[in-house]
């Protein structure tokens, strides 16, 4: 019999990759999506276009993290074996602009999901995954290695980081208080061609390719000196699955163990297009945060030893695949504009 899973945040970057991978493993996948006046399932549409679609089972449900009665009833109805909570207000800069909304969604939402899992757990074993974030560390790191691991103290420096820390500790609290199989993956920055265009990595590759084709003049960014440990999103969602297959629930740092500045990302992205980023990137204080996390550098030793998880895509390969994808997108945009002008 096929396992059943429930993915909250199914239409996001991570959610779409995770749904895709779980379907390939034979799961019946249920996803939670928010009601919108426009379709927001673009990252999942390709699933319905592949052959043998009748064998694929992806069921999407409208809902909201803050609507506990509906969420609770939904879990009791579909009775998932695994629950992945990837839903959140996940943009750090936006969390400074809308702190109340960010805190509400990312804290009350987690409690609602945990309560629903707890209620269902009286009937069957439910494995729960909570998406935690490297932003919880702030600027804390090991004095010996300069890296962040599961034992590194937390010191979040944004409303987003604070809200994710609440969800992280509540997951552990529900595990200890109620015996839930509840785990956290502390994921460092990860990206790919499905990344939202307001996030810095995709903002860079999208702008660079548009500038190359004359569709855009400048790219406005904030702090170019911030260092991030960037990995490839599909590999990180595979780690999520491995975490729930362990004999006991634990926390794991998921990271590449390699760190690069935003400036380096710009240099690589523009360089692949034979452009000098200095000619096009403009520093704009609008994008500076009130408090910055300067250096994220993850130590995933535990994940490598216990999960057998090893990142395969290098930083250079990651930037190149994003540039390749966004260049195709920019070419389509240019063709559309050109054809529109000729009519």
The CA distance from 158 to 290, in Å, is 8
The CA distance from 154 to 211, in Å, is 39
The sign of the torsion formed by the CA atoms of 143, 148, 154, 157 equals: positive
Burial 145-169 (b: 16+ CB within 10 A, else e): eebbbeebebebbbbbbbbbbbbbe
| 160 in active site | yes
SS3 181: strand
Catalytic residue among 133, 134, 193, 201: 133
The CA distance from 61 to 43, in Å, is 16
The CA distance from 115 to 69, in Å, is 10
Catalytic residue among 20, 82, 135, 267: 135
Residues paired with 8 in a beta bridge: 32, 85
Catalytic residue among 160, 232, 295, 297: 160
What's the CA angle centered on 294, arms 297 and 202, to 5 degrees? 80
The CA distance from 299 to 102, in Å, is 28
The CA distance from 320 to 326, in Å, is 10
| 250 in active site | no
| 274 in active site | no
Strand runs labelled E in the chain = 4-8, 28-33, 58-62, 82-85, 127-133, 181-187, 190-191, 219-221, 227-228, 231-232, 251-254, 260-261, 281-283
Return the active site residues: 133, 135, 160
């Amino acid at each position: 019999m096929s396992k059943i899973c429930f993915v909250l945040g199914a239409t996001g970057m991570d959610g779409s990759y995770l749904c895709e991978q779980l379907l390939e493993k034979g799961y019946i996948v249920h996803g939670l999506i928010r009601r919108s006046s426009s379709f927001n399932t673009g990252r999942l549409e390709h699933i319905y276009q592949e052959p043998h679609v009748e064998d694929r089972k992806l069921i999407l449900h409208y809902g909201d993290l803050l609507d506990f009665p509906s969420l609770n009833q939904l879990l009791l109805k579909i009775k998932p074996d695994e629950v992945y909570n990837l839903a959140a207000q996940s943009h750090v800069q936006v969390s400074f602009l809308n702190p109340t909304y960010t805190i509400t969604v990312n804290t009350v939402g987690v409690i609602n999901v945990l309560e629903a899992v707890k209620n269902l757990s009286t009937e069957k074993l439910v494995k729960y995954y909570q998406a935690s974030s490297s932003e919880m560390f702030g600027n804390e790191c090991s004095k010996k290695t300069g890296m962040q691991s599961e034992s590194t103290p937390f010191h979040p420096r944004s409303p987003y980081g604070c809200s994710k820390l609440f969800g992280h500790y509540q997951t552990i609290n529900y595990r200890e208080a109620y015996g839930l199989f509840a785990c956290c993956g502390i994921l460092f920055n990860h990206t790919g061609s499905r990344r939202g265009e307001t996030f810095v990595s995709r903002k860079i590759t999208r702008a660079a390719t548009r500038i190359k084709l004359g569709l855009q003049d400048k790219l406005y960014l904030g702090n170019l000196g911030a260092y991030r440990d960037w990995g490839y999103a599909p590999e990180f969602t595979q780690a999520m699955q491995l975490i729930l297959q362990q004999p006991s629930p634990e926390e794991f740092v998921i990271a590449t163990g390699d760190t690069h500045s935003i400036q380096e990302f710009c240099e690589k992205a523009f360089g692949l297009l034979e452009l000098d980023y200095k000619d096009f990137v403009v520093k704009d204080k609008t994008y500076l945060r009130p408090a910055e996390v300067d250096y994220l550098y993850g130590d995933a030793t535990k994940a490598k030893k216990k999960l057998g998880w090893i990142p395969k895509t290098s930083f250079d390969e990651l930037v190149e695949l994003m540039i390749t994808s966004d260049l195709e997108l920019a070419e389509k945009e240019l063709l559309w504009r050109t054809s529109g002008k000729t009519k």
